[in-house]
Amino acid sequence: MKRTIYPICLLAALMLFAGCQLGKHYTRPELALPETLSGQPADDSISLADMTWEELYTDTLLQGLIRKTLEYNKDMQMAAARVKELAALKRIDVANLFPQVDAKVYLEPERENYGGNDAKNSDEFGIKASATWELDLWGNLRWVRDKSLADFVGSIENRHALQMSLIAQVAQAYFELVALDNELAIVRQTVEARRESLHLVRLRYEGGLISEIPFRQAQVELAKTVTLVPDLERKITLKENELAFLTGEYPHTITRAGQTADVQLPDALPVGMPSTLLERRPDIRQAEQEVIAANAQVGMAFTALFPRITLTAVAGTESGELGDILKSPYHLFSATLLEPIFAMGKNRARLKARKAAFERATHAYEKAVLSAFKDAYNAITEFNKIKDIYNARLKLEQSAKTTLKLAQLQYVNGAIAYMDLLDAQRTYFDAQLSLNNAVRDKCITMVNLYKALGGGW
């Protein structure tokens, strides 16, 4: 009875010690966050990032491109496969915490003939079951599990961050493509206007009303405007190829809206509290998981300095005759102690390296937080100024258009020279392009702000 109680007591004591996990557990690094995001004294937890991307981007053609990107983009598919891979690896590390049980059935026909005159059979039949369990006395296996879990969660956050980034890339490329279409339309309209001007100047030149210089200048202006067409067509094709690549397709023509809808920016800008940015930005969450994984690696290196105990139990039956196999049981119980004694300081050097890696991961996390706040502040600044820029350029375009109409009327009546008309044409052309860019920038401002606040995943 006593011989049975001692192993049970020993096993119970070892399991009690196995509840320890030596090492420093993770705590989030101290961050001196700013009081607000928008610079205003009153902020709340409501954020533009709480909107879904379908609510923000109402263009159905753009929505179709985004959905296609999230499903077929190769980076998204690789990120999804990485999540599956780390989920399986995590399962392995969790399983290492528990005993491993194996079974073996074997047949070994053998014939011996020592000296050449004593041949005989030495067959062996057996059934064996074994259980092996490494006691996690100091928490080494649990640190391995924690690292595996942090890697797995980090891969999920990486996929979220990638989704957020891809939505922003597709939206920005789409708005840029539509803006290029509008710019090309403006240039082609200007080319037609330049042709009409050249025709009018040619009539005046051939009639002897003006010198050759205005006629040649009109030719130069037409040629210079025509050169803009192929360059814009090239840019449009490249932008279409970029969108096709993002959607996981070969280059093709992208279906898009004929003109960018005027984006109505809200008067009030909900951005949320600074602390919520840490939770909404998946790239920050991923960086934090990397810190957690690095901390777990420190725990792994620290607990590797202590002994490791493995218990092995074997039970089975073995016989030289198949008919007697159930009459020959046996069992075995063993414990193995592995104690690191001398390794030229390798284990302590590994611990120092893991601590340095943890320090590096902490600084990387702090950098990710700083970068996120920089993105948010830049996006808020652009948001606060883009409306003024758009309104100023709209007034400029309207004034330039009125001036051009007056200049055309005065030139026909001979009240002004051609160079005055040309100046008015140039001013209106530049104002049209500037207004088109302002409309594009209004759209991209919303894209950048939404992304900076952590929206889209």
Q: How far apart are CA 17 and CA 4, in angstroms?
A: 21
SS3 375: helix
Tokens coding 10: 């020993």
Calculate helix-pair angle for 140-206, 228-246, nearest 10 degrees.
Answer: 160
Distance CA 136, CA 90 (A): 17
Please tell me the distance from the alpha carbon of residue 401 to that of residue 427, in angstroms, as a whole number: 9
Q: What is the pLDDT of residue 44?
A: 63
pLDDT tens, the chain, 457 aa long: 445 455 545 555 555 555 578 999 999 999 888 888 876 554 566 788 889 999 999 999 999 999 999 999 999 999 999 999 999 999 999 999 999 999 988 777 766 666 666 667 766 777 889 999 999 999 999 999 999 999 999 999 999 999 999 999 999 999 999 999 999 999 999 999 999 999 989 998 998 888 899 999 999 999 999 999 999 999 999 999 999 999 999 999 999 987 765 566 666 778 878 888 888 999 999 999 999 999 999 999 999 999 999 999 998 887 666 666 667 787 888 888 888 888 888 999 999 999 999 999 999 999 999 999 999 999 999 998 999 999 999 999 999 999 999 999 998 888 999 899 999 999 999 999 999 999 999 999 999 999 999 999 8
The answer to whether 130 and 312 are in contact (CB under 8 A) is yes
- Chain mean position to CA 180: 28
Q: What are the sequence ranges of the domains in the chain? A: 21-97+137-305+345-452, 99-135+307-339
- pLDDT the model gives residue 336: 87
Q: What is the CATH number of domain 99-135+307-339?
A: 2.20.200.10
Q: Which helix (H) or strand (E) holds 333?
A: strand 329-338
For residue 1, the model assigns a pLDDT of 46
The pLDDT assigned to 326 comes to: 67
Which CATH superfamily, name and number, covers 21-97+137-305+345-452? Outer membrane efflux proteins (OEP) (1.20.1600.10)
Report how far apart the first and last C-alpha atoms of the chain are (Å, whole number): 63
- Whether 43 and 272 have beta carbons less than 8 Å apart is answered as yes
pLDDT at residue 319, rounded to an integer: 67
Give residue-wise pLDDT tens across range 288-317. Answer: 999 999 999 999 999 999 999 999 999 888
Segment 208-249, tens digit of pLDDT = 888 899 999 999 999 999 999 999 999 999 999 999 999 999
